[in-house]
Structure 1
Amino acid sequence: MLRVLVGSLTWETAVMRDLRLLPKAHLHLHFTGSMRPSTVAELAAVYGIRLPEGVTSSQQWRLPATSRGWFRFQRLYDAARACVRGEADMRRVVREMVEDDAAEGSWRLEFQVDPTSYAPFVGGITPALEIVLDEAKIAARQWGVSVGVVVASSRMRHPLEARTLARLAARYAGDGDGEVMGFGLSNDERRGRTSEFEHAFRLARRAGLASVPHGGELLGADHVEVVVSQLAPNRLGHGVRAVEDRRVLDELVRSGIALEVNPASNVSLGVYNSDEDVPLASLIDAGATIALGADDPLLFKSRLVAQYESARMVHGLSDEQLAHLARSSFDASFAPPAVRERAVAEIDAWLARGA
């Protein structure tokens, strides 16, 4: 505690430890959405692309939680993605992504990429993925961050494409830096039938890949049940709306299915009206394993440390509780055991230094 003297009055204020020094595992970050605003602006200028204001503005925006709202979000995402048009651009995105996470205290990063988006510029989905994996290995060594890659398919495309991506991901499966450790399913969860992607996830699991689909953000607890029963997730991207049915939430806790919670995304997409409404405390109280994430910081205007700051300042979590969240993020990760052990020891040291 610090004792502060102003005039004749004194009071005590809690020491707030530096959240950038708290080791964290960042498990929900998309390739395109990770870009620095300066990078996307520079690439847009090179290729003569006029970016919409939602990409270039520094202000957080809020969209209605409707199909129309998602369409507006997707338009912004597609505009940013169109600025990545070759190997050098792809390598730059990966390099800067890892550098930025290292600066925020990430010891482990597991990011998602759909190689089909960049395949036309580099000769196919295989070279597109190989470029990402190769640069991830280089950046991991340079910045001292353990890096795993999730190959993610899209609900907006045919399920046969998901099977193709699952087979591709299986060829590069591994637990080292710059290797594929998971298979995901992203985009508007109201689109497509979850059951039609079951075969792709079965292929991925057979190769030893983690199942990390999105679910439980745009749809409620009933869809969480569908995703769990049909895709057998190790983690759920988002999953916050499981809180709407205690039976479903309890089953997630019992099964050890972790949740990648992204408060800034929830608010920007209209799932919750404000940061205060995100049910972080309810999920923690229920015993859920939670990993805070930034999702798409380029668009949601909020990076990983800001999510921890919100947990502290908005949700009132103590430093002990924040340390517990950081430990949970490593529990939910597929980081090598040595990375986890070092991270947990440093989390304990982070708490001890500020006491």
Structure 2
Amino acid sequence: MTLKAELHCHIEGAADPGLVIRQARKYNADPTPFIRDGSFVWHDFTSFLAAYDFAADLFRSEEDYVLLAEHYLTSLARDGAIYSEIFTSPDHARRAGLSPAAYTAALGEGIERAKAKTGIEGRMIVTGVRHFGVESIEAAARFAARCGHPLVTGFGVAGDERQGDMEDYVRAFEIAREAGLGITIHAGEFGGWESVAAALDHIRPSRIGHGVRAIENADLVKRIAEQGVVLECCPVSNVVLRVFDSYASHPFMKLRDAGCRVTLNSDDPPYFWTTLKREYDVAKEHFGLDDRSLTAITRTAVEAAFVDKKTRAALLARLAEPARTR
């Protein structure tokens, strides 16, 4: 089995339909408008958000978030993942009626439980949301910088790329950078290549969430490759959301062949009928990558992970183990 690592997954979007149905029973909610035959149902962005918001609203207590993180990371480990980073949201914590600190502690406990059972390492990236405004993003950065949780190792911004300007978020990212947090930002999904260029100009991230629309500008692709910025690619999500029409038109291989450092990730996996394992399977089937190439992609993810040197060395050692010992 090819060992895997994931850098780009929104934890509220990682709850599979079975877990959501269990939570719906707990809170006496009716999941049938959003889940049918064990699968999420949506047909456009509005209905996707409705399904997402329904499921996310069913995680309300610290116990719920422990369960969510433990469930997701354990499922990843079953499919051969040795490392996972999840995007967390202080804004969602407040909407759920929890303090960001309690929410983060609960997710951290879930990560630790999954590690105790399977050996998988996990970390958290606190995210601000573009369409919630600059003040909300700066508040998220301050929380990330001050919370002191050992598994919070990064800061990012997600949300609607078509809202706000990158330069508006410079202060938030400086707060995070000064606290020693890793820096990533969503760009180049719906925002076009210009959003990637703006991220490089104003935010100076080590990683970009998605980033695939950079392919529209050859000079930008060259810049990404030269600077060693890692792209958190989510091919299945991109095709399902019609960012690209098919895997044949997806630029993953063109970016890789141009020298960009690319990784494979699942984004909001059950909503796009995917898993991290499926992303690797798609790369094998549609991009023609063999096991050696897929392991190299995992190595790129581990090298770009927001972890300390000792943890990174241990993960790289696991990757270097002969397959027969796994």
Gaps of 5+ in 1: 1-17, 64-68
How many correspondences in the alignment?
Answer: 326
**How does 1:268-279 map onto structure 2 within 5 Å?**
268-279=240-251
Q: 1:293 aligned to 2:276?
A: no
What secondary structure is seen at the aligned counterpart in 1 of 2:260? Answer: coil
Letter in 1 for 2:187: G
CA distance in 1: counterparts of 2:191 and 2:293, whole angstroms = 28
Select which of 76, 79, 89 maps to 1:104: 79
1:28 is matched with which residue?
8
Relative to structure 1, the CA distance from residue 138 to residue 335 in structure 2 (aligned partners, 3 Å threshold; closer, same or farther) is same
Per the alignment, residue 91 of structure 1 pairs with: 66
Deviations along 1:76-114, whole A, 9 cap, x unmatched? 211111111211111110110111111121111111010
| Superposition misfits of 4+ residues, deviation over 6 angstroms | 59-62
Residue 39 (str. 1) matches residue 19 (str. 2): yes
* Equivalent-residue separation in structure 2 for 1:144 and 1:193 (angstroms): 40
Contact 2:68 2:107 in 1 (8 A): no
* 1:223 is the counterpart of 2:198: no
Does the 8 Å CA contact 2:237/2:266 hold for their aligned counterparts?
yes
What is aligned with 1:347?
Answer: 319
| Alpha carbons of structure 1 residues 62 and 84: separation in structure 2 relative to 1, 3 Å | closer
> What secondary structure is seen at the aligned counterpart in 2 of 1:212?
strand
Q: 1:316 aligns with which of 288, 292, 295?
A: 288
Larger displacement relative to structure 2 (34-43 or 128-137) = 128-137
Q: How big is each residue's C-alpha offset from its partner over 1:270-304, in whole Å with a ceiling of 9 and x where there is no partner?
A: 10112222111101101111110011112111000
Task: Compute the displacement of 1:185 (Å).
Answer: 0.8
After TM superposition, the structure 1 stretch with the greater mean CA deviation from structure 2, 142-151 or 339-348, is 339-348
Deviation at 1:216, TM superposition (A): 0.4
Residues 41-62 of structure 1: per-residue CA shift (max 9 Å, x gap): 1112322333365554556888
In the TM superposition, what are the counterparts of 1:1-355 in structure 2 within 5 Å?
A: 18=1, 22-51=2-31, 55-56=35-36, 69-172=44-147, 176=150, 179-350=151-322
Q: 2:158 and 2:9 mapped to 1: Cα distance?
A: 11
Q: Quote the offset at 1:206 in angstroms.
A: 0.8
For the residues of structure 1 that align with 2:28 and 2:227, how far apart are their CA atoms? 49
- Name the CA distance, whole Å, in 1 between partners of 2:104 and 2:39: 32
Identity, in percent, stands at: 28
Match of 2:131, SS? Answer: coil
CA contact (8 A) 1:113 1:152 kept: yes
CA change 1:267–1:169 in 2 (3 A) is same
Using structure 1 for the length normalisation, give the TM-score.
0.85
TM-score (norm 2): 0.92
Distance in 2 (CA, whole Å) between partners of 1:50 and 1:324 is 44
Matched residues in 1 for 2:254 and 2:134: separation? 35
Higher RCO structure, 1 or 2 (CA under 8 Å, sep 6+): 1
Counterpart amino acid of residue 239 in structure 1: G
**Counterpart Cα distance in 2 of 1:281 and 1:59:** 30
Structure showing greater Rg: 1
Is this contact kept in 1: 2:225–2:259, CA < 8 A? Answer: yes
Measured in 2, the distance between the counterparts of 1:334 and 1:25 equals 12
How far apart are 1:197 and its partner, in Å? 1.8
> What is the CA–CA distance in structure 2 between the aligned matches of 1:351 and 1:283, rounded to whole Å?
28
Letter in 2 for 1:279: P
